[in-house]
Amino acid sequence: MKLTYRGVEYDYNPPELEVTLASTPTQYRGQQSQYKYVRHVPIAQPAERLNYRGVAYQTTRTGGVQQLGSHVGGHATTHATTPNAWAELSGKLRANSSAAKARRALLEESTALHQQNIARSLQHRMEVAKQKGNQALLEQLESEMRQSV
């Protein structure tokens, strides 16, 4: 679908949702009906080995948690991590996961596109101000362009 916003044309393709029917029929005001719902698409999570207060555990791709260390006498058999190890693990989770890389790439791409759209809009406004002979507006727009660069 082609759309235009403030003179900028773009193609909009909304995501298509997979709708499924419920397995059990329902009844509403005496009529048989089937309940429709959108199928849930799980988002893969990073699988990492972590340690919290001396207890080792692992996160799974589905978002679950598996305990790795066994308890003896109420204490975990694994060793507690140092603050440097915590920083290293949190850095690993943020920087090395594929989801974080994809999110970072998407953010950089959207930032660049946003800057291009702002520059295009300013350029168009400057052309209109020149055509109308509005020198005060033209100076304001030039100042705005210098600030955005």
What tens digit of pLDDT does each residue of 47-97 get?
Answer: 788 888 888 888 887 777 777 765 544 444 444 445 566 666 666 666 567
For residues 129-133, average pLDDT? 94
Q: Contact 129/137 with Cβ under 8 angstroms?
A: yes
Beta strands in the chain (DSSP E): 2-5, 8-11, 19-21, 26-28, 31-33, 36-38, 49-52, 55-59, 65-67, 71-72, 75-76
**3-class SS at 73?**
coil
pLDDT at 17 over 90: no
pLDDT computed for residue 42 by the predictor? 65
Name the residue with higher pLDDT: 76 or 41.
Answer: 41
Range with top average pLDDT, 14-28, 42-56, 69-83, 132-146: 132-146
